[in-house]
Amino acid sequence: MQISVFPHGRRWVLWALLVVLVLSMLSTLVWLAGRYEVSQVQSRLERDAAEAVNDIRTALTRNAQSLQALQYADHSSVSWAQDAQALLREHREWLRLELRDPNLQVIKSSDTPFSAPVFNHFGRAIDQPEVVQACGVARRQSGPGYGASTYVPQHDGLGLEIMDVCLPVITEGQITGYTVASYALREMLVNMVATQLTRSQEVSFTEADGTRLAMHGGARRGSHVFIAKQLLDLPGHTMVLRMDSWRGAPNVFPNVLTALVTAMAIALVTVLIMLARDMRRRQRVELDLANALAFRKAMEDSLVTGLRARDSQGRITYVNPAFCEMVGFASKELVGCGIPAPYWPPEMVDEYGQRQAWRLAGNAPPREGVESVFMRKNGERFAVMIFEAPLINAVGEQTGWMGAVLDISEQRRVEELSRASQERLQATARLATVGEMASLLSHELNQPLAAISSYASGSINLLQEAARKDPQLAETLSLAIQRIAQQAQRAGKVIKSVHDFVRRRDQARETVKPRALLDDVMPLVILQARKLGVRVVVQCPADLPAVFCDRTMVEQVLLNLARNGMQAMADDTLHKVLTLGVRPAASSATSRWLEFTVADVGQGIAEGVSEKLFTPFFTTKAEGMGLGLSLCRTVVEQHGGFLSHKPNTPCGTVFSFTLPQS
């Protein structure tokens, strides 16, 4: 923003031009006010003339109705004369009433009582053209007809302008005569025009060429006379009503308003001169303000931190380019937006609305960071840190809040990667420790298991000699010792399988019937079921095909799932039932898989626990290590299957895994 200062001489030229413009404006205003006053006077006169014409037309219509009433009266000489005299006394504008036959011959007549008979001096011609004209119009229209005005001389050397109106007398659809009334034009102006219109103005009837026929009212000639003309259009005849006003033209100052405006214009010039004194100071202040605004704008545009200002109702009043780039919305799309903001995720609108109301109420401490989640215009969510402080205006009042918004999504991503890497390192270290422990245990346990097997074999040999003395006892002990030897051998196989699994060696897989897998784990399952009071149910059709698997490891999976299912049923469960089942998988028709299920009727798995159930080292047992289900899933996945769980009906959980058919 640049402000130039005019030279001294040029500045005075500008002020002189300003004074000339003000004086021109004042002169134009006075001239326009005078013209306006003239137009107002003329408009009022036009309205008065129109009102006078309407009054005359209305009075003529009423008079025609009175004449029609006279037609239906008794036409005898005495009766008709009385009715005619009554009408003439009521209507001073009528000079004479006549009843004529169809040939316009006068049958009866009656003159006004207010003046001498108008036709006594020169008589009344039967074939007077004005009467013939009026009756011709009346005959054609079956209504009142008016003739042209005519001048009738009087005995005193003066005369009257008279206009005749003719009304046909219709009997049984036929014209049987005419009623003719003679109007005095001056009396029409006196009696039919309102008094307030003639009190200050002159009213007259004129011909089309301007010849006056009759006039009423006093006219005083002034410096300017206003004239208004209106046509009085009657059936058969048309006259011009002229109205003259003696009001003079407006003065130099036609009204108080113009004088007041003039005084205000002079005061305006004075104020402008006074304001010129501080013009330079204002220019310097504006220049300083423009520099400050430019500095602040450059500073805000260079920031990578988003700035957002809101008023006391939560509406956005300002955002900087960094904030717009952060959320993906343009400034015009954000300014003016209230609650909810367009960058709020829809699922968090209620939560953010409550937090916003709490903050706008002044409950939140200023300049305290709040972590939140914003949504870009394309729907992408990202984490932000918001710092807000009160927005104070120049008079010290808080008008809203100013916030600084930091995009911490990259920082959170790095932290998450670091945390995940740390967890993987810890899990790897634990797995390495477990591998070492498994190798150590497999090495150390092989010797006692071999000793157990040797002692079992020696005991069987000794029992063969004792069988001669007590065969039944020897047979029972022999069966028990054989079971000990079998479990010792099985334990050795398990340790060997774990050792091979840890060392990532190839496991020996074989074709096994599903029933055989269940039968191998049933003794241990039943033994623990008796301790916990659980009833075990096996559902395995005999015609199921065999599966191809590592027998020892799959048996450990079944045993682990069965043990977890029995432990999941609390002591207060009324009917503890553990169901072991085998059935063709839902997709067995195409992929040839068998599904093994272990179902309990315990309390089920909570939603938060379900997400971490197969995570290594995660356990809900006080004495557990959190490796059982993780190893089970690993074993099943090594066979190409899938281990999952779902809620049981009406309660409990169903664990299921799939194995390929042989």
pLDDT higher than 70, residue 90: yes
The C-alpha atoms of residue 166 and residue 148 are separated, in whole angstroms, by 12
Tell me the CATH architecture of domain 50-245: 2-Layer Sandwich (3.30)
pLDDT of amino acid 5: 45
The reply to whether 413-506 and 509-660 are identical in fold is no
pLDDT higher than 70, residue 28: yes
27 close to 218: Cβ distance less than 8 angstroms: no
Q: Name the average pLDDT for the chain.
A: 79
593-639 pLDDT, tens digit per residue, is: 999 999 999 888 887 787 778 777 777 775 666 677 888 888 888 88
451-469 pLDDT, tens digit per residue, is: 566 666 767 666 666 666 6
201 close to 245: Cβ distance less than 8 angstroms: yes
CATH for 413-506? 1.10.287.130
Please give the average per-residue pLDDT across 108-117, as a whole number: 86
**C-alpha distances out from residue 305 to 45, 84, 117, 377, 556, Å:** 75, 106, 110, 18, 58
538-567 pLDDT, tens digit per residue, is: 999 988 999 999 888 888 889 889 988 888
Q: Annotate 538-571 with b (16+ C-beta within 10 A) or e (fewer).
A: eebeeeeebbebbbbbbbbbbbbbbbbbbebbee
The C-alpha atoms of residue 593 and residue 547 are separated, in whole angstroms, by 8
pLDDT grade, residue 433 (50/70/90)?
A: low
Task: Tell whether domain 509-660 is in CATH 2.60.120.200.
Answer: no
Tell me the three state secondary structure of residue 191: helix
151-192 pLDDT, tens digit per residue, is: 888 776 678 888 999 999 888 778 888 899 999 988 888 888
pLDDT grade, residue 2 (50/70/90)?
A: very low
The C-alpha atoms of residue 55 and residue 52 are separated, in whole angstroms, by 5
5 close to 280: Cβ distance less than 8 angstroms: yes
Domain chopping of the chain, boundaries: 50-245, 304-407, 413-506, 509-660
189 close to 216: Cβ distance less than 8 angstroms: yes
pLDDT grade, residue 531 (50/70/90)?
A: confident
Please spell the DSSP secondary structure of 393-450, one letter per residue: -TTS-EEEEEEEEEE-HHHHHHHHHHHHHHHHHHHHHHHHHHHHHHHHHHHHHHHHHH
Helices (H) and strands (E) in the chain, counts: 17, 22
Among 24-28, 121-125, 135-139, name the one with the lowest average pLDDT.
Answer: 121-125
pLDDT grade, residue 505 (50/70/90)?
A: very low
pLDDT of amino acid 1: 40
The C-alpha atoms of residue 11 and residue 656 are separated, in whole angstroms, by 97
- Positive or negative: CA dihedral 261, 265, 266, 268: positive
pLDDT higher than 60, residue 70: yes
pLDDT higher than 60, residue 590: no
CB atoms within 10 A of CB 53: 20
pLDDT higher than 50, residue 3: no
Higher pLDDT, 50 or 354: 50
Task: Check residue 198 and report its DSSP letter.
Answer: H
**C-alpha distances out from residue 251 to 28, 37, 175, 259, 576, Å:** 15, 10, 62, 11, 118
pLDDT grade, residue 508 (50/70/90)?
A: confident
Rg from Cα positions in the chain: 61
Beta bridge partners of 153: 159
226-241 pLDDT, tens digit per residue, is: 888 988 888 988 889 9
**C-alpha distances out from residue 630 to 117, 229, 284, 617, 623, Å:** 139, 113, 78, 8, 16
Class of domain 304-407: alpha beta
